[in-house]
Amino acid sequence: MGKRTDLLTAANARYDLAALQLYAAELLRKAGLDGDKPEVVAERLVLADAMGHTTHGLAQLGDYLEEIEAGRMEKSGEPAVVSDRGAVAVWDARRLPGVWVTARAVSTAVERARTYGTASIAIRRSHHIACLAAFLPIATDAGMMVLLSSSDPSDAHVAPFGGTQAVFTPDPIAVGIPTDGDAVLIDTSASITTAGLSARLRREGGRFPGLWAQDSLGRPSDDPAVLVADPKGTLLPTGGADHGHKGYGLALLVEALTQGLSGYGRADGEAEWGASVFVEVFDPEAFAGAAAFRRQTEFVAQACRTNPPADPARPVRLPGTKALEGLRRAQSEGLALHSGILAGLEPFASALAVPLPTARV
C-alpha cells in the first residue's frame, strides 16, 4: 500500500491523458453508466484538467460517482426531445450525466449549423456539466464559433448587485472563436470566482486574492468562510463591489438563455444539483464566408498578440492561450494533477476494483 499511497500523493507525478481517461471511464462504467457515457465524460473531465481548470475536471468525478450511487444521476437512456424545429431544439436531459449531454448537444449543433447556418439547443434537467471550456474545441476544431452557458436552478451563491441574498449560481458563459492560429477560448462567469474554487480554498485554509465575496451585511471580504457562515454571505458578481452591475447583467442573460429558453428553472423549485444549459453554434460559411470570418478574427487576434505589454515579462495573451499550451504540454509530457484529486478517488477505485493509472514519474 505504501507505493500506491506515494503515487497518489507525489506532487511531480505525471500521467498520460489516455491513461487518466481510461481510469475515469472505468470508474464510471463500473458505477453503472452505459453506452459511450463513461468515455465521453472521462474525456472532457481530463481535458479540463489539462487545460488548467482543476476544480472542474477530475475533481468532480468523486461527486459524480456519489450521485450515481445515490440514484440522483441517471445511468442510461437518451434526452427527451421537448421541441425541435431543426435550427432550434429543447432537450429534457432527465438528469443524465451533464458532461455527456452537453458534448452531445455541441456536436449536434455543429452538424445542424452546417444545414441552417446556426443551431441552438436549450437543455433542462441536466446533471452538472463541469468545465465549459472543455466543450469548445468540438466546435472550433470544425471551424465553427460556439456559445455555451449554464446555470444551476437548484442553488445560489451570488447576490444581485447591491443585494445581500443569493439568487444566482456563478452562471458561466464560454465562447470559442476560430482564427488562423489557435482558437480564442473564452470561459468566464457572472461572478468573480466559482463555488468550486471557494470550497477548495476553505478546505485548504486559503483566502481569495481579492475582495471576491461579501458577508451577510454586504461587507466585501477575502475570506471564503463567509459563504458558509450563519447567516451566509455571497460571492460578488464580476466587477466586484464597485462595478458588479456588469456581472449582474451577465447573470440575467445566462439565466434567460439557460432557464428561460429551456422553460425550466428557479421558478419550478428545483432542489437537486444539476444544470440548465444553452448551446449555440454558428457556421461562418453561412454568413460572409469562413475565409472572411477568419480574416477578421485573425486580424484582431494578431493585434492582441503583438500589443505592447504594460509589463514586458507578461506579454498579452488571448483567452485560451494558456489552456491550449497546458494541453499541449500534457499531451507531450503527461499531466500533473492538482494535489489530492487521485487520493480523493481512491475509495471509489478500491470499492469498484479499478487499478490506479501508472504514472510516468
pLDDT in tens, 164-183: 999 999 999 999 999 999 99
237's CB contacts (< 8 A; 6+ apart) are 158, 159, 160, 161, 168, 190, 191, 192, 244, 245, 246, 247, 248, 250, 251
Residue range 182-206: mean pLDDT, rounded: 93
pLDDT in tens, 212-251: 999 999 999 999 999 999 999 999 999 999 999 999 999 9
- pLDDT value at 39 more than 50: yes
Phi, psi at 155, each rounded to 5°: -140, 170
Encoded amino acid at 352, one letter: L
Strand 234-235 with 213-214, pairing: antiparallel
In our burial notation (b when 16+ CB lie closer than 10 A, e otherwise), range 272-310 reads ebbbbbbbbbbbbbeeeeeeebbeebeeebeeebeeeee
Q: Is the pLDDT of residue 3 over 60?
A: no
Q: Tell me the C-alpha to C-alpha distance, in Å, between residue 56 and each of 47, 108, 222, 229.
A: 10, 23, 22, 24
| pLDDT over threshold 70, residue 139 | yes
304-308 mean pLDDT:
97
Tell me the C-alpha to C-alpha distance, in Å, between residue 335 and each of 99, 166, 340. 21, 36, 14
CA dist., res. 321 & res. 336, Å (int):
19
196 pLDDT band (50/70/90 cuts)? Answer: confident
Would you tell me how many other CB atoms lie within 10 Å of the CB of residue 57? 26
pLDDT at 8: 52
pLDDT at residue 360, rounded to an integer? 84
Spell 104-140 as b/e; 16+ CB within 10 A means b.
bbbbbbbebbeebebbbbbbbbbbbbbbbbbbbbbbb
- Which amino acid does the sequence have at 312? P
- Per the CB < 8 A criterion, the answer to whether 159 and 214 are in contact is yes
- Count of C-beta atoms within a 10 Å radius of residue 250: 22
Q: What's the Rg (C-alpha) of the chain?
A: 20
Q: Per-residue pLDDT averaged across 6-29, rounded?
A: 85
- Residue 337: predicted pLDDT: 95
Name all domains of the chain by residue range, CATH numbers in brackets.
1-76+334-361 (1.10.1530.10), 78-192+236-332 (3.30.1370.60)
CB 243 within 8 A of CB 190: no
pLDDT of 355 above 60 = yes
Query: Is the CB of residue 83 less than 8 Å from the CB of residue 262?
Result: no
Phi, psi of 120 (to 5 degrees): -125, 135
Is 50 exceeded by the pLDDT of residue 2?
A: no
Please tell me the least confidently modeled range out of 32-41, 108-117, 127-136, 197-206: 197-206
* Local confidence band at 197 (pLDDT 50, 70, 90 cut-offs): confident
Please give the backbone phi and psi of residue 354, each rounded to the nearest 5 degrees, phi first: -110, 120
Angle value at C-alpha 125, between 124 and 126, nearest 5 degrees: 95
Q: How many residues does the chain have?
A: 361
Give me the mean pLDDT over the 61-65 stretch: 98
Paired with 281 in beta bridges are 119, 146
Residues 208-214 have a mean pLDDT of 95
Backbone dihedral angles phi then psi of residue 174, each to the nearest 5 degrees: -130, 150
pLDDT score, position 85: 98
Instruction: Quote the pLDDT of residue 361.
Output: 64
CA distance 305 to 123: 36
DSSP code at position 331: H
Average pLDDT, the chain: 95
DSSP secondary structure, 153-208, as one string? TT---BPPTT--S--B---EEEEEE--SSSPEEEEEESBSS-HHHHHHHHHHT---
> With 70 as the cut, is the pLDDT of residue 64 above it?
yes
Exposure on the CB side of residue 297, measured as CA atoms within 13 A: 23
Mind listing the pLDDT tens digit for each residue in 328-337?
999 999 999 9
Q: Does position 11 have pLDDT exceeding 80, yes or no?
A: no
SS3 277: strand
Whether the predicted pLDDT of 1 surpasses 70: no
